[in-house]
Amino acid sequence: MHIGIPRETAAGETRVAATPETVKKFVAAKHSVVVERGAGSQAHFLDEAYEQAGATLADSSQALGADIVLKVRSPDSQERQHMKQGALLIGMLDPFNAPGIAELASAGLTAFALEAAPRITRAQSLDVLSSQANLAGYKAVLLAANQYGRLFPMMMTAAGTLKAARVVVLGAGVAGLQAIATAKRLGAVVEASDVRPAAKEQIESLGAKFIDVPFETDEERDIAQGVGGYARPMPAAWMARQAALVAERCKQADIVISTALIPGRPAPELISAETVQGMKPGSVIVDLAVERGGNCPLSEKDQIVQKHGVWLVGYSNLPALVAHDASALYARNVLDFMKLIANNEGELAIQEEDEIIVACMVCKDGKVLRSA
Ligand code: NAD
């Protein structure tokens, strides 16, 4: 098959969907690969390296005009104009955005939204949510450390002792657990909250303290189990108790990293404006949920702002700030997914019955199959 790698055009998107390493593997599997000139430049993958890996360099319309187009973000209307009817599109296509999926369908595409892959062991190597959230959790802590006017580790010096920073992590999924691990490595004292009971052991295994919001009814305990590993919206009474406890912990904290999400819904509000008001001057909140409305109503998308003396970091695309590694991992996820789409003879061989394909295929030959 003819595989195209266009340059990403979304604002602030620095990643690329294939690297010289994965291109080499596509070529070895008898595909021809067209890479748009400069597609990897913001992630420091040079055109020459793609050429050496066996790709042909071309302009965007040629890369977008391939049989299989590999993208990071969903193509916009201009990009779609260059895509062929019946072409295959693989990327992070935002499966909960029904109008966006309908647009892909009306362009006659067969599209696979990688975020919709089930969180099963077999799908781990193609799990884009995990590969990217892990880097986001790491980068969030570095951004916080940079914004914070003090140090993370306790330091005993001849001029006196500096206290370790206190970090609160809200949401201990992939990003949150990496944030805990990174903050611990930098020497902070860390505590974390999650609604799923399974998270307690994971938080504690990283040496952080679990902020426990006890369940008061069977219903609360039941909902907190989540579905498919994902959280569900908790009853208002539990959320109120959590908010009170979070407010108390945030008052003591120097850094808050919030990552709480519920699939297909606005992010839960965990840090109220009042809680921010009660926080120490110079403390920092990094709100990873900002794209979905934020865990704090005061955070602003793609901005660093100071409110009530507290820094709020609202960058929505943290993996793009570590574009080389984020692209390398994403490209390997895509390569792994491609094994369910094409064989080693360069031919299309979509494993339509496979549960990963069923979950990810959002439209086929112009028809919407599902938006997650
Ligand atoms: P996510 O990004 O959807 O959500 C982030 C975290 O926010 C989750 O841990 C969630 O429980 C938490 N959250 C939601 N509401 C909250 C609230 N009110 N207070 C505190 N926390 C709240 O999650 P994710 O990182 O994508 O992980 C989702 C699940 O997938 C997890 O159970 C994870 O262990 C699992 N997972 C499985 C695999 C696999 O087996 N292949 C791989 C990666 C992740």
Buried b (16+ CB within 10 A) or exposed e, 105-126: bebbbbbbbbbbbeeeeebeeb
Position in ligand 1 atom list of the atom nearest CA 121: 41
CATH number of 133-316: 3.40.50.720
Q: Determine whether 148 is an active site residue.
A: no
Whether 230 is a known active-site residue: answer yes
Q: Is 127 a catalytic residue?
A: yes
* Best probe residue, ligand 1, of 128, 194, 202 (max atoms within 8 Å of C-beta): 194
Rounded distance from Cα 216 to ligand 1 centre (Å)? 22
Q: pLDDT per position in the chain (372 positions), as tens?
A: 999 999 999 999 999 999 999 999 999 999 999 999 999 999 999 999 999 999 999 999 999 999 999 999 999 999 999 999 999 999 999 999 999 999 999 999 999 999 999 999 999 999 999 999 999 999 999 999 999 999 999 999 999 999 999 999 999 999 999 999 999 999 999 999 999 999 999 999 999 999 999 999 999 999 998 888 888 999 999 999 999 999 999 999 999 999 999 988 999 999 999 999 999 999 999 999 999 999 999 999 999 999 999 999 999 999 999 999 999 999 999 999 999 999 999 999 999 999 999 999 999 988 999 755
Interval between CA 231 and ligand 1 midpoint (Å): 6
Active site residue 50: no
Q: What is each CA distance from 146 to 175, 200, 324, 330, in whole angstroms?
A: 18, 28, 21, 26
Domains 2-116+323-364 and 133-316 share a fold: yes
Tell me, using a 6 A CB cutoff, whether residue 225 lines ligand 1. no
Q: Is the CB of 173 under 6 A from ligand 1?
A: yes
CA distances from 14 to 17, 129, 313 (A): 10, 17, 19
310 contacts 284 by C-beta, under 8 angstroms: yes
Q: What is the pTM of this model?
A: 0.96
Percentages of the chain per state (helix, strand, coil), in multiples of 5: 40, 20, 40
What is the ipTM for the molecules in this complex?
Answer: 0.96
Question: Ligand 1, closest atom to CA 231?
Answer: 11
Domain boundaries defined on the chain: 2-116+323-364, 133-316
pLDDT per position as a tens digit, 229-276: 888 999 999 999 999 999 999 999 999 999 999 988 999 999 999 999
Q: Answer whether CATH 3.90.1210.10 is correct for domain 2-116+323-364.
A: no
Tens digit of pLDDT for each residue in 272-291?
999 999 999 999 999 999 99
